[in-house]
Amino acid sequence: MRVAIIANDAEKSRVTATELKRLLDAADIELNQERPTVVITVGGDGTLLGAFHQYLEMVEHVRFIGVHTGHLGFYTDWRNYELELLVESLKKDTGQSVSYPLLDVCIHFNDELADAHHVALNEATIRNIERTMVAKVSIEGECFEMYRGDGLSMSTPTGSTGYNKSLGGAVVHPRVNALQLNEIASINNRVYRSLGSPMIVAPNEKVTIDLKRDDRYQLHLDHYVRSYDNLSSLELTLSKKRIHFASYRHTHFWRRVNDSFIGKIKDED
């Protein structure tokens, strides 16, 4: 086992990472930032997202573990005061893991540029940053609707509790192998019409977003933002790759959702 540690800049995270290094050293577990088999992030969901993109090339050969130094996160199972327990679990590791779906994004450009491929853990969001986005949305090559509005977002099941939820999308259990397409402030009136509700797309279906205006667009891939003025279309599908987490402990998904969004409630009759 080779372990990499990725911590965010917060003082608490840095202290936690230093202590983790000391414990791993004492347990004779190799630290290796370049070729890890296990990546431990210390911080929050954002730190895990950053580490995912950092190790994307080797994502099939790496298992992630999230230590959180704030609230229980969606990608972080361990608390900063549980490091000894975590190192004990690493010592007894038998390769146990759980995997979740990822989103594949293929970008086509107006000019001669070759297509670009990206993978997202939470979601991809496309927005026209100049005026109303007009886009033909096709599913499996068949025109479904002409969308008009601020933009569109496609999320993975684990990303469904992120930006997708703020857009009014459904929270999807990560064992469901599907993507969710969501509208951002669509225009729906007697002239223009799109579905107006989130859609769950089947695992083998490709959604194509044909951008009808030569404008400037912003593409968000998780926490990364890029601007383009030569975008032609996007193709969105479930990725063949999946993210793997070392599953030494299991936090029930709906408990995590409750903990994050609802909190303790009085059991009233």
| Contact status: 183 vs ligand NAD (CB under 6 A) | no
Structure tokens, 119: 């993978």
| Contact status: 76 vs ligand NAD (CB under 6 A) | no
Element at 252 (helix H, strand E) = none
Q: In the bound complex, what is the minimum distance in angstroms from residue 68's beta carbon to ligand NAD?
A: 9
Of residues 7-36, which lie at the interface with ligand NAD (CB under 6 A)? none
Residue 166 region by backbone torsions, left for phi larger than 0, else alpha for psi between -120 and 50, else beta? alpha
DSSP category for residue 26: H
| Contact status: 222 vs ligand NAD (CB under 6 A) | yes
Given 16, 158, 186, 237, the residue binding ligand NAD (CB under 6 A): 158
The beta strands (E) that lie in the chain are given as 2-7, 30-31, 38-43, 63-68, 78-79, 97-109, 116-120, 123-128, 133-139, 142-155, 179-186, 199-201, 207-211, 217-221, 224-228, 231-246
Residue ranges at the known binding site: 45-46, 122-123, 148, 150, 161-166, 185
| Contact status: 46 vs ligand NAD (CB under 6 A) | yes
Binding segment (CB under 6 A) for ligand NAD, from list 43-51, 108-116, 183-191, 192-200: 43-51
CB-CB contact of 106 with 117 (8 Å): yes
Q: In the bound complex, what is the minimum distance in angstroms from residue 43's beta carbon to ligand NAD?
A: 10
**Chain positions contacting ligand NAD, by CB under 6 A:** 44-46, 49, 73-74, 122-123, 158-159, 161-163, 166, 222-223
